[in-house]
Amino acid sequence: MHSALTGLLAGAPVTERETWRSLWDRLGDGTLAKEQAVALLASLTTSLPGHPTLHALLESLRERRTTAPPTTWPGTVNIVGTGGGPATFNISTAAALVAAASGVRVVKTGSRAYTSSLGSIDLLQRLGIRLTTSYTHTEEMLERDGIAFAGPFVYPAELTRLARTVAPLGMKPFGRFLNALGPFFADLPVTAQVTGVSAAMPLPDLRELARADTSGRRIWLTSNDAGADELLGFADNTVDVNDGTRLTLRPGELIDADGGFDALRPVAPEQATNHFLAVLDGTAHPAATATVCLNAAALALACGHRDTWPSALAAAREAVASGAARALADRLRTAPRTTAKAAAAPG
């Protein structure tokens, strides 16, 4: 049994980067047995290790990337959630579109559903909005539309190898681990990242990971006493910034504290597209659109596009009221698959 797995199963810290390097080498050359790959994922999911182990794991994956991202995309923010909290519709995906329609440059990362009925990628597929295939393609979409939905190229290749090794089991049983570290797995040269953290995730360890992040991006970790991984108008919200700053938002402070989770619950998958578009054009429950605008405002503030909550909220509300958010979504739904420039790009 590999020493990384032995340590995890014993509940001991696995902080030597060389130990993780050895594990990924064995995964890459096919000598890591399927049973050990399953045990590795099961151990990480059942009892997520502490910050020192997670930091070593992440750094060992970052150093193996063969395609480096370009220099920082100025004024660009990534939004991503951990999932695992109370079920809601795809608030962060809607917030990304509203923020982009108000002038914020946004890259959205996400996954298929691990702990929910419809992940962000599942919804984008239903909408007909395509993921980017390379850094060049992502830059093109940012220049053209102000928003890009990044594809799997931003994640470590080792995750794909693990999925192939444990097949046909699939990765859904290990969703808690993948959701918790997903926001830190993505390699994007953004200025800022807003990550919603649900009550099901180890917030103290994620705070430590954010503080130890070496990418230079500003990281906001949002959480609340309702357990959701989005900012909510009816909850006590906390924003932990990786520079040590902490912000608090009280119920009703920025948007009405109406609706509760009843206004935010997911709809049946066959109704998801129409409901999502109704939120963007302001014809869904008012609390649903207000919640999206609150989260869009956070993106504007995190990347420095706006400097006050009232101005950021006003811009988000105008993007909805003017039809700009819905128009952006409709334009993306009919956009060509890719451009010749992006298709020819090496990564």
| pLDDT tens string 169-209 | 988 888 888 888 989 999 999 999 999 999 989 999 999 99
Q: Hunting for tokens 């039809």 — which residue is that?
A: 323
Share of the chain above pLDDT 70, in %: 95
What is the rounded average pLDDT of the residues 314-338? Answer: 91
For residues 114 and 122, what is the distance between their CA atoms, to the nearest angstrom? 11
- What residue spans in the chain does CATH classification 3.40.1030.10 cover? 73-150+186-333
From the list 162, 175, 176, 172, the residue with the least C-alpha distance to 34 is 162
Q: Is the pTM of this model over 0.75?
A: yes
Rounded CA-CA distance 321/12 in Å is: 54
As a whole-number percent, the residues of the chain with pLDDT over 90 amount to 78
DSSP letter assigned to residue 151:
-
Q: Pick the residue with more confidence: 6 or 69?
A: 6
Residue 271 has pLDDT above 80, yes or no: yes
Phi, psi of 70 (to 5 degrees): -70, 180
Match 């990534």 to its residue by tokens.
78
Round the average pLDDT of the chain to a whole number and report it. 91
pLDDT of 168 reads 93
Instruction: Please say if the pLDDT value at position 160 is more than 60.
Output: yes
Q: Which CATH class is domain 3-62?
A: mainly alpha
pLDDT at 111: 65
Average pLDDT over residues 87-101: 96
For the chain, where do the domains classified as CATH 1.20.970 start and end?
A: 3-62
**CATH number among 3.40.109.10, 3.40.1030.10, 3.50.50.60, 2.40.50.140, domain 73-150+186-333:** 3.40.1030.10
pLDDT value, residue 140: 95
Contact 251, 233 (CB under 8 A): yes
CA torsion angle 173 174 175 177 (round to 10): 160
What DSSP string describes 207-272?
HHHHHT--S--EEEEEEETT--SS--TTS-EEEEETTS-EEEE-TTSSS---SGGGGTPPPPGGGH
**pLDDT exceeds 60 at position 263:** yes
